[in-house]
Amino acid sequence: MKSKGKGSKRGRQSWAEQDDPDFTLETEPGSSEQEGSEASVRLGGTWRTLRGERHGGSRVGTRRRRLHSSTKERNVRRLESNERERQRMHKLNNAFQALREAIPHVKTDKKLSKIETLTLAKNYIKSLTTIILGMSNACLPHAESDMETNTSRLLQCYQQHLQEEGEEDLSTYLSHIHSFSQGS
DNA sequence: TAGGCCATCTGGTCCT
DNA sequence: AGGACCAGATGGCCTA
């Protein structure tokens, strides 16, 4: 995984930086801003840090303190949801990688981008659908020009096949279709 | 150096 | 209530 300067990136204003009636803004003479507002939590085996400091430095020498609920609790919750979000995005990326490996494309050193992967996958599905439709006269006696109708009929046919034959993989289904079209 | 792509953080909303 | 999902923002890396 690429190094992305974890912990240093600040997107929108963080909750600790936004105007909030529950916060007071007070100066802290002689103390470090970072020491005063930083919280670290161990998540997923690594330490993650949240800071209440704006990296532009416009609030140097000040500290925000939550009066009612615990700042640390909110930090912990935020870090936990960050971790979950990372895991979710990793799962999404794994799915993209699986998709890359499933679709045929010209192999280059450069891996397919996400948008390229989706576009190729869409085209690949369309091509397969066209091929299958051409082979499936027995199942789809009236070929229609409307691609969408054909596709939904094909799906219907596949679902019917699953009901009759149980869970089989697509290649088995295709060979059935092929033998249908050969026989008819 | 600009632009594309990406990882990450974040807060809002939806769902269970 | 808490987690999942989503979209905006930001900054790093890479390439033309």
Instruction: Find the Å distance, CA of residue A11 to C1' of nucleotide B6.
Output: 15
Residues close to nucleic acid strand B (C-beta < 7 A): A 1-2, 4, 6-7, 9-16, 18, 48, 50, 78-79, 81-83, 85-86, 89-90, 93, 113-116
* The 3-state secondary structure of A100-131, one letter per residue: HHHCCCCCCCCCCCHHHHHHHHHHHHHHHHHH
The encoded tokens of residue A46 equal 């690594």
Place of tokens 């690594």: A46
Question: Can you give the pLDDT at residue A172?
Answer: 60
| pLDDT tens for each residue of A18-76 | 444 443 333 333 333 333 334 444 443 444 544 333 332 222 223 333 344 577 778 88
Averaged confidence pLDDT in chain A: 60
Chain C bases having any atom below 7 Å from a protein CB: 3-13
Highest averaged pLDDT of the listed ranges A15-29, A61-75, A79-93, A152-166 = A79-93
Do residues A131 and A178 lie in contact, with contact meaning Cβ atoms separated by under 8 Å?
no
Q: Which amino acid is at A18?
A: Q
The better pLDDT of the pair A20, A80 is held by A80
The Cα–Cα gap between A170 and A29 comes to: 70
- In chain A, the largest separation of any two C-alpha atoms, in whole Å, equals 89
Asked if residue A12 keeps its beta carbon closer than 7 A to nucleic acid strand C, the reply is: yes
| Stretch (H or E) spanning A100 | helix A71-102
pTM greater than 0.95 (yes/no): no
Instruction: Find the Å distance, CA of residue A112 to C1' of nucleotide B5.
Output: 11
Question: Can you give the pLDDT at residue A164?
Answer: 64
User: For B5, which residue's CA is nearest its C1'?
Assistant: A113
Asked if residue A90 keeps its beta carbon closer than 7 A to nucleic acid strand C, the reply is: no
| Total count of residues recorded for chain A | 184
